[in-house]
Structure 1
Amino acid sequence: MITVIYFWEVQGFGAARAFTRMALDRAALRKDPAISFFKLLGTGKGETFTPKDANPRRWGLLVTLREEDLENFDHGTVTNSWRKFAVSEYRAVLKPISSHGAWSMREPFIVEQFAWDGPIAAITRARIKWRFNRTFWRAVPSVTSSLHSSPGLRHAIGIGEAPIGLQGTFSIWNSASDLRNFAYKGAAHTAAIQQTEKLGWYAEELFARFAIIEESGSL
């Protein structure tokens, strides 16, 4: 199995067409026997993780599927429908290095052991308990400030399945060590981890790291 993530940028009336695609594509993706997991994603700046953070000009799709079916999917109905009105596309083929937690009560990524010293992608995703939304939002600014100033970070954007309560990030790092330094040595992120353990503000969470096998376009 392999994972591929797309981000499309749209302009003008493209935002309305993107909303339509978010509704229509679910059925086609569910019916595809090659796909084991998928998520249609909205995006944001990844600064506050509140509705005001949302970016209606960029939309995403994450798919885990059989590696031999990637080329067909890449040129299939779903992706081509987005390309008809998108002004740009970012695409990355990802191979999971590690994955902890669950997404929609599933383990979406199949991890294989292999050596990798190239660039790393990371996905974090959490379903926040409603009563902790405000507490979570108050903790976000210091963590995002630390993230965006971290050595080795190439890109970081917010991702989510809904404007509130289902939050995540997609980030790209020069190396695994750069990501580890942020995750486990940064004061703000370490404090957030301690708060998470103390308060239990997530109903579900996932952290996954990937080798970037192919990459095209820009975020």
Structure 2
Amino acid sequence: MQTVTLNLFRFDRALTRLWVLGQMGAARFALPHVKGLNFWKLCGSGTGEGFTPKPNWGTWAILAGWDSREQADAGLQRPPFSQWRQRADESMTLFLEPYAARGKWAGRQPFVPEGGPDGAIAAMTRATVKPAHALRFWGRVPDISAKVGTDPNVIFKIGIGEVPLLHQVTFSIWPDADTMAAFARRGEHAEAIRAVRDENWFNEELYARFRITGCEGTWEGRDLMSATNNTQEAA
């Protein structure tokens, strides 16, 4: 079964931030040689609620798809993953299994869905925004992002992307599939989805859902797997 990992890294110091900027080029030469790695993307992030056009120079991510959990565990001990963890002030790795996916990313479907949802889930949306619609897109998205941030059910969220303004990814964790679906159907989020369809804002889009199978490290001092388990127990 395919394992997907989302590695988040926080760099607080000016020198390490310069170093990771260089890694956005250098890591591209190392990643193709990591055994079992079938998909990878190097991403920056947004400020504020996470999904904004203003970059956050301290937070960076590596999204990766692996042939198996065993190969993910082994590959994450190799460069560039190990180098980034050693230099980061904080890091976290989420282990995921895709159960639903539609659309494409750079012309391919990178995820291999199997099974169904089980407990807390992660939702990922990736889009390539048409330049002609970028201003309208970014005029609407920060309000939607803020709504996600204030939703009492969302456990975690972050906005990352490959190319500022044009190639964007939203990632969020929810207690269960029904809770996530209920949010998507109401308010400004639903209105934005209708605008995307009616006005054809995207050149390419991908929607994927994942089971959460593990978490290593912390983010903002938080053990995310404990937070996820506590939410499920409360439900």
Report the TM-score range of the alignment, normalised by the length of the smaller protein: over 0.9
Deviations 1:64-104 (A, max 9, x none): 01113112112112111112210111111100011111111
Q: Distance in 1 between matches of 2:89 and 2:142?
A: 31
The question of 1:69 aligning with 2:71 is answered: yes
The residue type paired with residue 95 of structure 1 is E
Asked if structure 2 preserves the Cα contact closer than 8 Å seen for 1:48 and 1:137, the reply is no
SS at match of 2:43: strand
Q: Distance in 2 between matches of 1:169 and 1:48?
A: 7
SS at match of 2:188: helix
| Correspondence for 1:58 | 59
Could you tell me which runs of 5 or more consecutive residues in structure 2 were left unpaired when the two chains were aligned.
220-235
The residue type paired with residue 195 of structure 1 is A
Q: Kindly, what percent of the aligned residue pairs are identical?
A: 31
Deviations 1:163-194 (A, max 9, x none): 1201121111122111111112x211111111
Tell me which moved more, 94-103 or 38-47.
38-47
Q: Distance in 1 between matches of 2:216 and 2:86?
A: 18
Q: Distance in 2 between matches of 1:140 and 1:70?
A: 33
The question of 1:17 aligning with 2:19 is answered: yes
The residue type paired with residue 156 of structure 1 is K
| Number of equivalent positions | 215
| Correspondence for 1:4 | 5
Asked if structure 1 preserves the Cα contact closer than 8 Å seen for 2:34 and 2:75, the reply is no
| Correspondence for 1:42 | 44
Q: Distance in 2 between matches of 1:17 and 1:48?
A: 24
- TM-score (norm. length: structure 2): 0.87
Q: Distance in 2 between matches of 1:144 and 1:47?
A: 7
The residue type paired with residue 92 of structure 1 is L
Q: Distance in 1 between matches of 2:3 and 2:118?
A: 18
Could you tell me which runs of 5 or more consecutive residues in structure 1 were left unpaired when the two chains were aligned.
none
Which 4+ stretches in 1 moved above 4 angstroms? none
The residue type paired with residue 104 of structure 1 is A
| Correspondence for 2:134 | 133
Residue correspondence of structure 1 range 30-179 to structure 2 within 5 A: 30-45=32-47, 46=49, 49-50=52-53, 52=54, 54-67=55-68, 68-114=70-116, 116-179=117-180
- TM-score (norm. length: structure 1): 0.93
The residue type paired with residue 110 of structure 1 is V
| Correspondence for 1:203 | 203
Aligned-residue CA RMSD in angstroms? 1.5
- Cα shift at 1:106: 0.9
- Cα shift at 1:151: 3.1
